[in-house]
Structure 1
Amino acid sequence: MFQRIVVLFFLIFLNSYVILASDPDPVQDFCISNMGAATKTDHCKNSSTATVEDFVFSGIKSSGKFGPTGLSAISVNSNTFPGLNTLGMSFVRADFEVGGVNVPHFHPRATEIAFVLEGKVYSGFIDTNNKIFAKVIEKGEVMVFPRGMVHFQMNVGDTPATILGSFNSQNPGLQRIPTAIFGSGIKDQLLEKAFGLNSKELSKLKKRFAPN
């Protein structure tokens, strides 16, 4: 009986912890990151010196540099936009060349909602039962990717595409599946057995997804 009570208490505690495991609510109007703070206790810029410019970000007026998959992604989080600090949200602009791909990836700390600004994008996610939810979304449509779910996008139109994504965390995190698997240093023997690869094939993948 005592063991059952202990287990029940543990489950209640764990459930409560998971429910509360999100960005904390702010306790002040705003806390603009003080990038030059000398100590952790001085991490907020003095509010009396704040200006409207602290709450405006102009870094996504145009696309950034495109990578080998035809994707350009500019993250707007508290590291690049200090005014977002403690507000529990962040943003991304993703541009796709024709045929461009945002490889399967996930955000461990946030749900994402993506708005198609231009183009036609094959977009979707996979749940924990390995069921896929995917379709082509076009200009003016939105799609949501639940927190922690692997998701992906590909420009299937004949013109460039742009997506604007919003997150319910100031630091959603990002893990790209190919890089996490083949670029993280997992032992070759494990990867060869897990994916049925020979050493030559594995070497090629590791070279392609090695950290820059």
Structure 2
Amino acid sequence: MELTKMFLFLSFFASISSAHTNIVDFCVADLNYPVGPAGYPCKNPANLTVDDFVYSGLGVSGNTSNVFGVGVTFAIDLTFPALNGLDISMTRLDIGVGGVVPMHSHRVSELIIVIQGRIIAGFISSDTKVYYKTLKKGDIMIFPQSLLHFQVNVGKTPALAFVSLNSARPNFQTTSTSLFGNDLPTNLIEKLTLLDAEQVKKLKSIFGGTN
């Protein structure tokens, strides 16, 4: 009986382990087709070259001339199709003096490394406890999956950081644009945020919202 239970357990473990085993070495995305739950369809490997596995976009500074003073450059499946199906991506953050990566979340975890400058980085746990610290060159910090987090440049020079996320399509949802960048009625936002109508409309004008 015990041997039967052990066999069933090992069979179950093997089945869930094999579910995460790739049957091909890679699957460079063919962006001519729609994305599905498992990612994009694969390009024909016979037509691939080494250039399909190289992306130079993160070597270019992002544009920080916006309301937050931050430039975000993504290396995800849409910009770097070789990441398709590999559960990994990278992002470059250029944060101007006083700039902010606003409160946001992803459906996956994020690891940040500071390359230059000084930033305050932090996240808020589901029990509303805040974890934040001033990071300098070479420091890394983890932001656990789905939790709200942020970065603020507190130095006297522009800051540069890179983040790695365990998804080729990590999603990026900011609280500010989610609330004020759409047609959610002003009176509802007033109730949800305790802001008055004038404040809500001002924020809607900044983020492109209506109604």
TM over 0.5: yes
Letter in 1 for 2:149: H
Which structure 2 segments of 5+ residues have no match? 1-15
Q: Indicate which of 190, 193, 198 corresponds to 2:191.
A: 193
Report the secondary structure of 2:188's partner residue. helix
Distance 2:120 2:21 in 1: 35
Runs of at least 4 residues of structure 1 off by over 6 A?
A: none
Relative to the length of structure 1, the TM-score reads 0.83
Residue by residue over 1:140-171, the C-alpha shift from the partner in whole angstroms, topping out at 9 and shown as x without a partner, is: 00000000000000010111100100000111
Structure-to-structure mapping, 1:62-101, within 5 angstroms? 62-66=60-64, 67-101=66-100
Taking only aligned residues, the RMSD between alpha carbons, in angstroms, comes to 2.1
Distance 1:38 1:195 in 2: 37
Q: Sort the Cα spacing of 1:25 and 1:189 in 2 relative to 1 into closer, same or farther, 3 A.
A: farther
Residue 147 of structure 1: aligned partner: 145
Residue 28 of structure 1: aligned partner: 24
Letter in 1 for 2:157: T
Which structure 1 segments of 5+ residues have no match? 1-19
Letter in 1 for 2:67: P
Report the secondary structure of 1:60's partner residue. helix
Relative to the length of structure 2, the TM-score reads 0.83
Residue by residue over 1:48-103, the C-alpha shift from the partner in whole angstroms, topping out at 9 and shown as x without a partner, is: 22211111000111212222211000011011001111111111000011111000
Distance 1:47 1:126 in 2: 43
Report the secondary structure of 2:59's partner residue. coil
Residue 120 of structure 2: aligned partner: 122
Residue 154 of structure 2: aligned partner: 156
Report the secondary structure of 2:98's partner residue. coil
Task: Confirm or deny that 1:49 pairs with 2:47.
Answer: yes
* Corresponding residue pairs, total: 188
Residue 12 of structure 2: aligned partner: none
Is the 2:62–2:70 contact (alpha carbons within 8 Å) kept by the matching residues of 1? no
Distance 2:177 2:158 in 1: 25
